Amino acid sequence: MLHNSKVALRARHDADVPVLQAELYDDVATRSRADSRPWQPVSPGAAGSPYAVAAPSDEAACFSVTTLPSGDLAGEALLWGIDTHNRTAHLGLALRPALRGRGLAREVVALLCHYGFTVRGLHRLQIDTLAENLPMIAAATRAGFTLEGTLRRSAWAYGAHRDEVVLGLLAEEWTTPADVASDRV
């Protein structure tokens, strides 16, 4: 488990799936803006659920986010599109609606950076998000990401083409926050 003073990243548990499905996936408008794939109905127990507990993968590292000290489920976080040759990956996260606006996204981004740079030895992390996703952009820039560009009207999201922004962070630009730790589980 990876943690700092506010949140922890841990393996997904079966009990997480229905909560994440109901609060993150079944919110069609929000999910459509958070994922480049079209939304379609998926049963929480289905193998196709994006939150299904899966075996470790070289291409993605999926975590459940919990708050500390309570251990309450706060959302999901992941590195995806992991490219071990170029040592790059994309970063993503989604917090449950009741836990948004509390500064947790910045903490999750820091832990994902620690995992990507320190644990996985990656060279570059990238965030691709809609230009209107100001909370994600703020969390990323506070963690040290640089806005690298705008892809004009490149994403179809909930009925309209929208601008996407690309933010990047290189390993040499990142410093591990003092409160980031790893525990054996």
Across residues 49-54, what is the average pLDDT? Answer: 87
Average pLDDT, the chain: 93
Examine the pLDDT at 179 and tell me if it is beyond 90. no
- Tokens 């000290």 -> residue: 69
**CA distances for 29 relative to 39, 51, 157, 165, 185, angstroms:** 9, 18, 8, 19, 36
Across residues 23-33, what is the average pLDDT? Answer: 90
Domain 2-182 has CATH 3.20.20.140: no
Tokens of 71: 């251990």
Largest CA distance in the chain: 45
Q: What is the pLDDT of residue 6?
A: 95
Query: What is the rounded CA–CA span in Å between residue 22 and residue 49?
Result: 11
Q: Are 128 and 90 in contact (CB under 8 A)?
A: yes
Query: What is the rounded CA–CA span in Å between residue 171 and residue 126?
Result: 11
Across residues 12-20, what is the average pLDDT? Answer: 94
Query: What is the rounded CA–CA span in Å between residue 145 and residue 125?
Result: 9
Q: Where are the domains of the chain?
A: 2-182
Q: What is the pLDDT of residue 92?
A: 96
Q: What is the pLDDT of residue 48?
A: 81
What's the predicted TM-score (pTM) here?
A: 0.93
CB-facing half-sphere around the CA of 122: CA atoms within 13 A: 29
pLDDT in tens, 84-109: 999 999 999 999 999 999 999 999 99
Examine the pLDDT at 164 and tell me if it is beyond 70. yes
